Chains A and B, each alone.
Chain A
Amino acid sequence: MREVAVIGIGQSVFGKLPQKTVAELGSEAVAAALADADISAKDIQVAYASRQYNAWCTAQDILKEVGIRNIEMVNVENTCAGGSTAFRGVWKEIADGHYDVGIAIGVESMTTSPIAGKMITPEKDDLDGHLGMSMPGMFAMVARRQMEQHGATVEDFAQVSVKNHRHGCLNPQAQYKKEFTVEEVLNSRMICEPITLLMCCPNTDGAAAAILCSTDVARKYTTTPIRVLASTLLSGDYKEFQKDITVSPLLEKISKMAYEMAGCGPEDMDLVEMHDAFANEEMLRYEDLGLCKRGEGVALLRSGATEIGGRIPVNPSGGLLSLGHPLSASGIRTICEIVLHLRDEAGARQTPNAKVGLAHMHGGVVAGLEHGIVAGIHILAR
C-alpha cells in the first residue's frame, strides 16, 4: 500500500444559498482546491463525489465546470459521513496504486433539497420515526442521560455552542460569525428539552474538495504534502447492542482502528474536527475518540482544553454549529481544516505547532440500528 498525501484543499462559501446550483457550489470548491495545489485539471485521474439529496451524477455535473472529463468518477452517499466516504474512496484508489492523483468532493444544497424547511419524513417502515423520533429528539434523550450519568448541566451543553461560535468568528468561511453567551444559547427557542435552537447545527449549502496524491508523486507539486496516516470508514450494529446511548459502539471500534492504522494515540492529536450536529454530541465524542476517559467529557469541556489555545482544540473551524452542516460536504471540510492547521495556514485560529490532527464525521439514523450508524475517521500529519 502506498502512502497518500493531501496536496490541495478548497471550500465554497457556506450559507443559505438557494440561488447557487450544486455544480456552482461544487466547482467553487474544486477550483479552489486545484489552485491551492497549483495543479492542472488535466492531472486529475479519478474523482469521488458525495451528496445526500437529489443526487445523480454529482461528480460529472460539478467537474464539467472545470473541464475535467473522460476519467473514472464515482458518486457516493453515506449521510453525514458521505464526504469521509468520498475521501476514503480516492485514498484507496491511490493507496492501492490504481491512480496517482485524484479529487474528493462533498457537496450539499440543503436549501433546495426536498427537506428544505421541513422535517425529515420517516420511511413507511420506520416505526420509531412515526412514533415521534427525530434527530433533535434522540440527542435530547442522550443529553438527559449525560446529565444523569455524568453530571452534565444545560450550561455545559450551551458552553459547547458558545465555544464553537467563538471559534467560528475567527473563520472567514463560517456561516454564522457571531458570539453568543451561555444565557443567549439557553434562552433561544426550545427544540427538544434540554436542546435549544442554538445547540443545533443550521441547514447550510456548501461544498468542499480535497486533492490527494501518492506521497512520492506529491513532491512534484508541493513541498508541504499532508500525509494521510489513517483512513477508516465503518458502519455500526443493531440498536439492541447499544446498551448506553451516551456511548457509540461504532466509534469505539473505528477510533481504535484509526489509531492503530496511524500508529499513534489520542494523546498525540494536536487538534480534532468532529461532528457536533448538536452541542451535547461534542462531549460524547471527546470520550468516544479517547480524548479523555469515559465519563470525563464534561470535565474536559470545563477545563477549557478543547478551546483554541487549549491542550486539544476541538472544532477550531467553528464546527457544524457555527460553520453550518452541508451534510456530504462536512466530511471533507473537516479534513480541509486539519490540513490548514498542519500547514500553519489557519490564521487567527491556528493550533500552534500542529503536527497531527483527526477529522471525524458521523451520522445516519436507520430504524432498528444504533443511532449514528456510519462514521469516518481520518488522521493526518505534516
Chain B
Amino acid sequence: MAEVVPVREGILVEDAEGGRLLGNKCKCCGQLFFPKARFCFTCFNKDMEEAVLSRYGRLYSYTIAHMPSTHFQPPYAIGFVDLPEGVRVFAPLKMTEGKPFKVGMDMEVVIEKLWQEDDKQVIGYKFKPV
C-alpha cells in the first residue's frame, strides 16, 4: 500500500468529522498564521503555539481554472476562505453539484488525497460548500 504523506508536515489533523487545519499563534501579540510561521511577522517573537483552526469559513474569492497546474487538470477550482479567527486560507475547492460558488458562501474544510507523488499518496485540504 502506498505511503500516505501530508502536503506539508504539521499542517492538518484528522478527526472523526474529517479534519482541521493547523496554524500557529504568537504567544506575545496573538497574531495568527496559516501556514505556521517560524516567528511572528508582527513582533518578531519566536514563542509560538499551535492553533487548531475552524472547520468552517466564508468564501472570500474563487476562480475556476481552465489551464493545467502542476498537480491538477482543468477544470479545477481554487479560492480563498476566510476563517472566523481572521485567517485567510488559499485552497483548492471542491465543485459540488447544485452549489455554485458564490462570494460569502459558507465553506467547510475537507481532508482528502490531492495527488500521487512517486509511490506516495499526498493528502491535503480542500474546501467545499456547506
A contacts, CB < 8 Å to B: 119, 121-122, 127-134, 136-137, 140-145, 148, 189-195, 238-241, 245
Q: Are A245 and B41 in contact (CB under 8 A)?
A: no
For this complex, 30 residue pairs linking A to B, each with C-beta atoms less than 8 Å apart, are A129-B70, A130-B70, A131-B90, A131-B114, A132-B70, A132-B72, A132-B76, A132-B78, A133-B69, A133-B90, A137-B65, A137-B78, A140-B65, A141-B61, A141-B62, A141-B78, A141-B79, A142-B61, A144-B61, A144-B63, A144-B103, A145-B61, A145-B103, A191-B65, A192-B63, A192-B66, A193-B65, A193-B66, A240-B31, A240-B41
Complex interface residues of chain B between 23 and 50 (CB less than 8 A to chain A): 31, 33, 35, 41
For A119, what are the chain B residues with a Cβ–Cβ distance below 8 Å?
Answer: 67-70
Chain B residue total in the interface (Cβ 8 A):
31
B40 to chain A minimum Cβ distance, whole angstroms, is 10
Interface on chain B toward A: helix, strand, loop, or mixed SS?
A: strand
Q: Are B92 and A192 in contact (CB under 8 A)?
A: no
A277 to B77 Cα, complex, angstroms: 22
For A190, what are the chain B residues with a Cβ–Cβ distance below 8 Å?
Answer: 66
Q: Are A132 and B92 in contact (CB under 8 A)?
A: yes
Point out the residue from B8, B71, B92, B103 that lies within 8 Å of A148, measured CB to CB: B103
B contacts, CB < 8 Å to A: 7-8, 11, 31, 33, 35, 41, 60-72, 76, 78-80, 88, 90-92, 103, 114, 124
For A134, what are the chain B residues with a Cβ–Cβ distance below 8 Å?
Answer: 65, 67, 69
With contact pairs A137-B63, A141-B61, A193-B63 given, residues A130 and B90 touching in the complex (Cβ less than 8 Å): no
Choose among A119, A134, A145 the residue with the greatest number of B CB atoms under 10 Å from its CB. A134
B101 to chain A minimum Cβ distance, whole angstroms, is 9
Q: Are B61 and A245 in contact (CB under 8 A)?
A: yes
Q: Are A130 and B71 in contact (CB under 8 A)?
A: yes
B87 to chain A minimum Cβ distance, whole angstroms, is 8
B121 to chain A minimum Cβ distance, whole angstroms, is 15
For A122, what are the chain B residues with a Cβ–Cβ distance below 8 Å?
Answer: 70
A21 to B85 Cα, complex, angstroms: 52
For B64, what are the chain A residues with a Cβ–Cβ distance below 8 Å?
Answer: 192-193
Choose among B64, B66, B79 the residue with the greatest number of A CB atoms under 10 Å from its CB. B66
A193 to B92 Cα, complex, angstroms: 15
Cβ-closest 8 pairs across A and B: A140-B63, A141-B61, A132-B69, A192-B63, A238-B41, A132-B78, A144-B61, A190-B66
Instruction: Name 13 extra pairs, CB < 8 A, besides A127-B8, A141-B61, A189-B66.
Output: A119-B67, A122-B70, A127-B35, A130-B7, A130-B70, A130-B71, A131-B71, A131-B91, A133-B78, A142-B61, A191-B66, A192-B64, A195-B63
A133 to B92 Cα, complex, angstroms: 9
A189 to B62 Cα, complex, angstroms: 19
A134 to B70 Cα, complex, angstroms: 10
